[in-house]
Chains A and B, each alone.
Chain A
Amino acid sequence: MWRYVLRRIAYMVPTVFAISVVSFVIIQLPPGDYLTQLASRLRERGEPADQAYLDALSARYGLDEPVPVQYLTWMKGILFHGDFGMSFEWNQPVSALLADTLPFTIALTLGTLLFTWIVAFPIGIYSAVRPYSPGDYLATTIGFIGLAIPNFLLALVLVYLSRLWFGGSFVGVFSSEYAHAPWSVGRFIDLLSHLWIPVIVLGTAGTAGLIRILRANLLDELRRPYVVAGRARGMGERRLLIRYPLRVALNPFVSTIGWVLPMLVSGEVVVGTVLALPTTGPLMLGALRSQDMYLAGSIILVVSVLTVIGTLLSDLVLAWLDPRVRHQYR
């Protein structure tokens, strides 16, 4: 087991390195250099650009140096000081902006993942146990449509309908009266009443995919001879299902985090923008539009690395659950 863990962690290193390089390339891609942009931005705002301040920035991030050196300086700042660079749009360190938005992003993503599981699990089992029943067809149809609707469209439609039916705004995370209020039961309920839309919107595609996978896996398992043998010995259907086939069919459920997580993070950019959530997605989009590249590149870096870590954790859980995976890599 430990060898497997070490091996997986060792595999992660080149991936994370590649992500950091790609993020840095994205920072460097737009034409024009950072300092000139910053100076012109400051002038637009009516604050004269302080030459000493610009020089200090240039020295700190090695902006006069060749590109590979800049990359190393940037990486060193992140690794040793948690310094991701400056956002000239916000005139704040990127790390401060990340600290504001990242916790909510992670909470939303994990919450959606949980929602995906809770919904997909019973429906997937039902579809496999009663294949080709009306309920199965209904689940399959909804699944197909769930995969085909772009999530921003779903967000727009849900907000439109909820306004039509319940009135009130469901955009953002809090209603205006709770926005700056201290935590209370009312505020929490208000939060939940806003969060259901992003969670459903983000979770739909993943849920549809998971249902399909669970159904296919469980159907395969249910045809195995050991199931027939168990049934022949008079084992109850429910116990027969839960004892073995479900356990085996659940393993891919864990490993799917590997593709559900990147999907959720991608979806969060769109949904966060449409619903005006305080997440990293809209922040990144705004940064890309105004070419605030340190902010944009850092968000891409952090979000991708977190996804890779999430995938690693799911792989480790899978190895812990499934001896076949453990032994394969010995």
Chain B
Amino acid sequence: MTQPHPARHSASQWRLVWWRFRRHRLAMAGAVVLAVAYLVALFAEFVAPYSTEYQQVGYGGAPPQVLKVVDTSPDGWDWGLYVNGYTDHVDQETLEITYEVDHEQRVPVRFFAEGESYKLFGLFETDRHLIGPADPEGPPVFFLGATANGYDLFSRIVHGARVSLTIGLVGVAASFVIGVVLGGISGYVGGWVDTVIQRLIEFFMSIPTLPLWLGLAAAVPTDWGPMQRYFTITVILSAIAWTDLARVVRGRFMALREEDFVTATALDGVGPPRLIFGHMLPSFTSHLIASTTLAIPAMILAETALSFLGLGLRAPAVSWGTLLEEAQNFATLQAAPWLLLPGAAVVVVVLSFNFVGDGLRDAADPYKS
């Protein structure tokens, strides 16, 4: 912005941040991807063709069916969504059934297809799904293949997004509270309190987190329900992950304590709570948001790793980590490499969070240069 923008002088800080963020192309792309991902998670029942319980044992290990728009195989062109069907093949020696995509067969697919009925948000009962086989009585479709047990991988990834995407948010929210409170006290009070909290932070930073996480997660009773497990795992993750945020907050408080406006406010007789929450915190909220965004992907990766190792969430719960647990076996992987696709979802989301976080960090201080 070399030209002085007329609106620039009267724009609020958030508007300036937004203008700056908008110029960061990768960050904008990341933001769009994340918006789509969270919408998918929100409307998982609608987006997924099937529910997580929908099982077609007869189709275990079926490969992905590519969605096609134009059918050129019969005479001329035929428009319409369809996928190719399967032919099964039984190995005479091992009696193992393998499926192959058969290019002769067509299974028509349509948007807003009729399928299992469900209650969206527990309110509206409907049986429409964003995409699915046109004939609900006909053969099932597996856009991203089926798992060994005959679950639809695409539906499971969509439903798993709910857990995997929220565990980062909930976990970061929890560690945000701990981080802001402890970092704030540390930076504002200073003295021996600061020393103690700093030692605590250094302790957490100097030890390898995963073994500690695993140790704590292993102690969660196995008979706990999925919800209970989900929250316990979140608490365990955030109990260790708050240190980075605390450091940022402390550094900011240390710097702000010396600022003139803080001294002036204090001299005006404003008490510490209002000084902290009314005057100091708002001046670096944008930095806090940036640091928080950068902390979310680490959380998502941690949940994935824990569940992958079998100590995080466990099987009826569907998350990207539990889905990847199935891909642990190399023999399975050789037969069904598409089981790695939940990993691709993890990478895309984590990358997007990193881009958005970087963009926010650059935009957080709109008055700089």
* Closest B residue, CB atoms, query A18: B203
Known contacts: A26-B215, A30-B219, A153-B340. The answer to whether A265 contacts B346 by CB under 8 A is no
Say yes or no: A288 contacts B203, CB within 8 Å.
Answer: no
Q: Which residues of B contact A112 (CB under 8 A)?
A: none
A145-180 interface code vs B (CB 8 A; 1 in, 0 out): 101111011001101100100000001000000000
Asked whether B334 is an interface residue with its Cβ less than 8 Å from the other chain, the reply is yes
Asked whether B328 is an interface residue with its Cβ less than 8 Å from the other chain, the reply is yes
Min CB–CB distance B207 → chain A (angstroms): 4
Q: Which residues of B contact A308 (CB under 8 A)?
A: 206-207
A289-308 interface code vs B (CB 8 A; 1 in, 0 out): 10100001101100110011
The complex places the Cα of A102 from the Cα of B109 at a distance, in Å, of 55
Cβ contact of A144, chosen from B305, B333, B351, cutoff 8 A: B351
Asked whether B259 is an interface residue with its Cβ less than 8 Å from the other chain, the reply is no
The complex places the Cα of A156 from the Cα of B327 at a distance, in Å, of 8
Min CB–CB distance A162 → chain B (angstroms): 11
* Closest A residue, CB atoms, query B298: A147
Min CB–CB distance A158 → chain B (angstroms): 12
Q: Which residues of B contact A156 (CB under 8 A)?
A: 327-328, 333, 340, 343
B178-211 interface code vs A (CB 8 A; 1 in, 0 out): 0000000000000000000001001101111111
Binds A, one of B122-130, B147-155, B306-314: B306-314
Say yes or no: B311 contacts A288, CB within 8 Å.
Answer: yes
Known contacts: A29-B219, A262-B205. The answer to whether A145 contacts B210 by CB under 8 A is no
Say yes or no: A266 contacts B309, CB within 8 Å.
Answer: no
| Residue from A160, A261, A288 with most neighbouring chain B CB atoms (10 Å) | A288
Min CB–CB distance B38 → chain A (angstroms): 18
The complex places the Cα of A265 from the Cα of B213 at a distance, in Å, of 13
Asked whether A259 is an interface residue with its Cβ less than 8 Å from the other chain, the reply is yes
Asked whether A273 is an interface residue with its Cβ less than 8 Å from the other chain, the reply is yes
B-binding residues in A (CB < 8 A):
11, 14-15, 18-19, 22-23, 26, 29-31, 144-145, 147-150, 152-153, 156-157, 159-160, 163, 171, 258-259, 261-263, 265-267, 269-270, 273-274, 284-285, 288-289, 291, 296-297, 299-300, 303-304, 307-308, 311
A-B contact pairs, 9 of them (CB 8 A): A152-B305, A157-B343, A160-B330, A259-B205, A262-B206, A273-B309, A300-B211, A300-B215, A307-B208
A-binding residues in B (CB < 8 A):
199, 202-203, 205-212, 214-216, 218-219, 221, 297, 301, 304-305, 308-311, 324, 327-328, 330, 333-334, 337, 340, 343, 346-347, 350-351, 354-355
